[in-house]
Structure 1
Amino acid sequence: MPYNSPIMLKRLLSWKYGIAVVLILGCSIYVSRQDQKTRDQYETKCNQIRAVTVSPATHQEDCDKGAEDAARHLPRWYRVFGWPEGITTWAILLTLLVIADQTAETKRAAIATEDAAKATMDSVEVIKRKEKARVKVRIGELEVVKVETMNDSYFAVVKVELFNFGETKAFIANSCGDFSITRSDKPHAAKFPEPLTSEPVIHATEKPLEKKFPFFCDTGHDIIRSLNTGELFAHLYGMVSYTDVFEAPRVIRFRYLWTPNMHGVQLRSLISKDALSHSLYGEWKQHGDEQDNYDSNPN
């Protein structure tokens, strides 16, 4: 088996405290043996001298004191592993290191748990983004239609469609809209907003829900001409709030202004004087500020 330095280093690090204890005990045993050896050598020398001394008792005291002094005068590094000061110090130091190591391990485990929880939340968010409902609004063309009645009434009509391009159902909480024709291009507050739909749910990828807004006109040809020339302005605004299976509240607000295509208007007026009274030439454009045209779920 080839030698693998990272694996061996990892194993040695896992045994670090065991190796430290063995080394300290080995050094302590060595120092103790050296201490005892020094004492024994000094006592042997003292015994040889005591054989010829006249005061054995006094000499014995001197020998004991000398043996202790000899042990104390061993190399200074011996004290690091000597008993009891050295071993006690090492025991305290190792205990503190173990506590610090366990604290670091606990911190690493907490970070790993936090990272795992964050990864799980990110996965959940990815699923939500993929499966959530996505309601969009599509505005149809502006038309002026004649209603065959006894008095031949005219109506300006616009169709609003609600689509759900998401993967799950959209539950309609509220919806409203308003269509009007005024002499000003300034946004105005709707007096009588109508619901955009009476359906409580918009199913995903199914046929859109439709809402037609009619606006009564006294004379159809005059209204068409005035819209083409910019004397009158058609306004459309609405709002849809909904939730999905994830219960996330979402809202769409829109405001549009019918804007005449002046190039088309000028061209048609050259072709026929009555052309501007029969067909509308223009398009819906967003109107108002950012709050008037807002989608909390753009993607």
Structure 2
Amino acid sequence: MHLRLGTRGSQLALAQSNWVADRIREVHPDWSVDLIPIRTTGDRVLDRPLTTLGGKGLFVKEIEEALLRGEIDCAVHSGKDLPATLAPGLVIAAVPPREDPIDVLVTREGVSLERFPRCGTIGTSSPRRAALLRWLRPDIVVTPLRGNVDTRLRKLREGEVDGVVLAAAGLRRLGIQDVPLQLLDPVLFLPAVAQGALCVETRSDSWKGRLEFLHDVVAGFCVTAERAFLAAVEGSCHTALAARAEVWNGELVLDGLIADPNGQRLVRGRSRGAVQQAEAIGARLAEQLLAAGGREILSSKVPDNPQ
């Protein structure tokens, strides 16, 4: 059996896809697995904020097109890169075991967000991270910063910014352990939808059943709830959205928030229920937050780089 596995070409994307390929080879040593790097629009255009380019779908569009043309058999995505709606004919075949979804603050001195210097500069191009930074520390400067993990860490070392916020999962998958960092409390600094999760996407009529052995049931329920929240909110690429689901004693607990990137308005809430109701839990939380002020936040226009 020959499996062509599509992936972005970044160091992190290749590390994630190689991890999935290794799991496939462990279970099916007779399968031949080839990684097919695909350069997406989001990888090519680095001089403009993602919010001006059309949002997260830019990291998957070309990969999904390759799937639909039959040039690859499946693809590995960072869960947070997937838009709420997949291209017609495509499905998520598996969500492997999830890494911790929390964010970390990396600085040259290893200071916490609470002790970060007033008027210091933190780089991020994530509306969610920008909103939460401004909400928690309105006295600091948040500036756009794009690029892969190595690029952002280099800009930090060179003094272009005083700190960067990164996903802990990405650092772990890259084996980066020698940077001074502080964990950001996930209760206050709620992660992105499906952060830390990988999603294996394929055509609905081909490899779906063959790849189910990669699926982790708990991670799958959590990602389903978070993505249902994302789909029901229907936020724009300018809007800060966050959601984190956990399973406690068989019950799924979903926290979520809607904010504007300037950090002045934020609504958050919680929904819970049986794990089998994951999709309904996500939709219910979205309805709750939209009614509590989220709809007004989503309908407002926010400048590309609020400060």
With the shorter chain as reference, the TM-score category is: under 0.3
Higher helix share: 1
Rg larger in structure: 1
TM-score by length of 1: 0.17
Higher relative contact order structure (alpha carbons within 8 Å, sequence separation ≥ 6): 2
